[in-house]
Structure formats: C-alpha cells, structure tokens
Chains A and B, each alone.
Chain A
Amino acid sequence: IAGITQAPTSQILAAGRRMTLRCTQDMRHNAMYWYRQDLGLGLRLIHYSNTAGTTGKGEVPDGYSVSRANTDDFPLTLASAVPSQTSVYFCASKPSGTTDTQYFGPGTRLTVL
C-alpha cells in the first residue's frame, strides 16, 4: 500500500524556471489538496480538487497552477519560480463522503535561488 507519493523529494531550482511537483495516490480518493508549509505559519492551502476534472483556489494560489486529469494524479506547477516559493509542499487526499480527514504525502522540499 503506497498511499500518497510525491516527487521529487527535494529540489533546488533557479528563479524563473518552471517546475512541476508530482503527486499520486492509489486510494481512489476523490478530493486532493496541495499545501505549503512555512516556519511559523503552519500549512496553507494552495489549490484543491474535489473530483477529477475540477479544481479550486485555496488561500495562497498565486504563482501556482494545478490540473486533475484523472483520480490518481494532481500535479502542481510553478510557471516561473520565485524565491518566496521556497517551502515544503505537501499533497493530501480525502475519500468521498462526510469525513474531513485528509491523508498526507511525505512532502517535497523546494528551494528557489
């Protein structure tokens, strides 16, 4: 049972470069989420998807885009990275129904120089 996998584990990126963070889940969860974790700020929601084919903006969506072509994959793209996007990024998923419980991947540590 893999749960949620994220790739890469870590990345150092030059400012201005394009980067896609990958997230895959094998639990057939309908909803998926991207968060960034910054020291002293906890986790903040970037984008979410309630089901394949739909996406929505969270608290801090600027500079990021997502797509949800199928149930399993939810990639996060930084079109032109900036140093303020240096963070740890977590992908999460949630089964359908009334539960609010989200399950998290191991994270991607991104440094933008």
Chain B
Amino acid sequence: AQKVTQAQTEISVVEKEDVTLDCVYETRDTTYYLFWYKQPPSGELVFLIRRNSFDEQNEISGRYSWNFQKSTSSFNFTITASQVVDSAVYFCALTSYDKVIFGPGTSLSVIP
C-alpha cells in the first residue's frame, strides 16, 4: 500500500528561523514521483518541487531545499530564514501507477 506521513501537524517559528518539514512515504513501486505543494490561505495549491525515484540529488531553490533519502523513505523540506509569507499548509505527495496520494499536511505559522 502507498502512504505518505507528515508527522508534524502544526509548526510555529519566529521569522528568520530555519524550519524543516518532514515527509515519510511508503510504496512498493520502484518508479514513483514525490512532490511538495504549498496551500496558502487563498486555497490554491502551489507546486513546489517534483522528484522521481531515481534522482536522489538534493535540490536548493532560493530559501527552499529538499533532502530525498530513499534509504529512509524520506523527502524532507527545509525553509531557510523563514518569512511571514511562508505561512501555509504544506503537503507532501506521492504518485505511482494509479493516483496521487497526499500526506495529511503540515500547517506552518511564521510569526513576525
């Protein structure tokens, strides 16, 4: 069975702090994709990153970075020097041969 776990339900940080959002997944498939989406209060889900199961390179995009480790089935997301605009719900997701599976989400609040 495929499953995505985001153990942190809610996180609060003070602006400029670094924060890491955890994502652990389960799948028996050898080919799959992992994603992170951001959902601000406006409601729209915003795509942040996609990783396929054969690409374990970490990625950095501005203040955002992602750490993909197949050995631990984790795909963690770090925001450096957080800002108030980063406040949102973040979803980790997994696709395999049939559908997209979203994790339960982590609500991040960045306090000024």
Are these two chains actual partners, yes or no? no
